[in-house]
Amino acid sequence: MTHAYGWNKSKENHAEMVKTQLRFDLSDFMDVAVPNEVNNFGKVPVKDQDGQGACTGFSRSTVEELLNLNDTHKYTRLSAAAAYIWNQMCSDCYGADDGASIAGSVAAAAKYGICRDELMPFTEEYNPNIPAAATAEGIQHLIGSHSVLTSSRQIRQYIGTAGLVQLGTPVGVHFETCPGVLTLNMVECDAKNMLGGHALPIIGYLLPETVESFGLDVPKTEGPYLFDIQNSWTDQWGYQGHCFATKSAIDYLCELIGQGEVSMAGYSQLQDFNNPSMRLNWKL
């Protein structure tokens, strides 16, 4: 079965995303001790983008739901539909269901923000019209910063201290049929035989034994942790709507960033990385 995608690689503006970022890789947060794992599995529901190319909206809203949950200790469903349209506005592809970019998503998070789902629920048909109430609320909830991340180490440090990550990546048949663990071989094959571009949130990193407790087989040679990626293709895909990418798989995707084949950015409510004592505490 072929699912909907929506990462519009042709609209990426990596240079602008780099220019406007808050540098994480050069900050003191890179040397802060992080938890052995950040387990956000099951804390926010898996949502379904149906047949629309709205994955940037779903992945961004998932990231911001978890950041808000960690901050308020209360779950609020945020509007993937509004996030998608705002992402499109900042990706220069507004007005048709043509997906959006990661660069446009981080720009939209800083310019338009996010609103509650009830102010603009997702509908089966593409709707580019954002209600005034959604716009008014969105501007009150802007992201603090974004950071460009280019290695599994940076991603782990960022998740452990600062925020969560949105990934734009080529996907293919191995991702479509992923049973739960996403390996280096799978992402290599898909990058060479892609079916489309997809945007996904990386919501945590887990120890192999945690992933194995789900009844999944983890390759013993693939590193000390796996990254939890939550999809927007219903909870019937992968393992309850998630897959767990090995360190080597993520490092391979990071190598493709320089070739323009992958895009990745972290979202944080922090506006600077000057004080490590302000780092996130994921113990909910």
The reported pTM is: 0.97
CB 81 within 8 A of CB 55: no
DSSP codes of every residue in 192-245:
HS-SEEEEEEEEEEE-HHHHHTTT----TTS-S-EEEEE-SB-TTSTBTTEEEE
Distance between CA atoms of residues 159 and 38, nearest Å = 7
Three-state DSSP string of 200-214: EEEEEEECHHHHHCC
pLDDT tens for the 284 residues of the chain, in order: 567 999 999 999 999 999 999 999 999 999 999 999 999 999 999 999 999 999 999 999 999 999 999 999 999 999 999 999 999 999 999 999 999 999 999 999 999 999 999 999 999 999 999 999 999 999 999 999 999 999 999 999 999 999 999 999 999 999 999 999 999 999 999 999 999 999 999 999 999 999 999 999 998 777 799 999 999 998 889 999 999 999 999 999 999 999 999 999 999 999 999 998 899 988 65
Q: Minimal CA–CA distance to 160: which of 24, 13, 11, 17?
A: 24
Can you tell me the distance from the alpha carbon of 166 to that of 147, in angstroms, rounded to the nearest whole number? 10
Per the prediction, the chain carries an average pLDDT of 95
Token pair recorded at residue 177: 């049929």
**Residue 236: how many CA atoms within 13 Å on its side-chain side?**
4
What domains does the chain contain, in order, with CATH numbers? 9-22+40-270 (3.90.70.10)
Q: C-alpha distances in angstroms, 157 versus 55, 87, 209, 282?
A: 25, 26, 20, 13
93 with 11: CB under 8 angstroms?
yes
Which residues lie across from 196 on neighbouring strands? 171
| CA distance to 52, 225, 241, 272, per residue, from 153 (Å) | 33, 11, 25, 20
Round to whole Å and give the CA distance between 175 and 43: 23
Q: Are 15 and 101 in contact (CB under 8 A)?
A: no
Indicate the DSSP class of residue 167. E
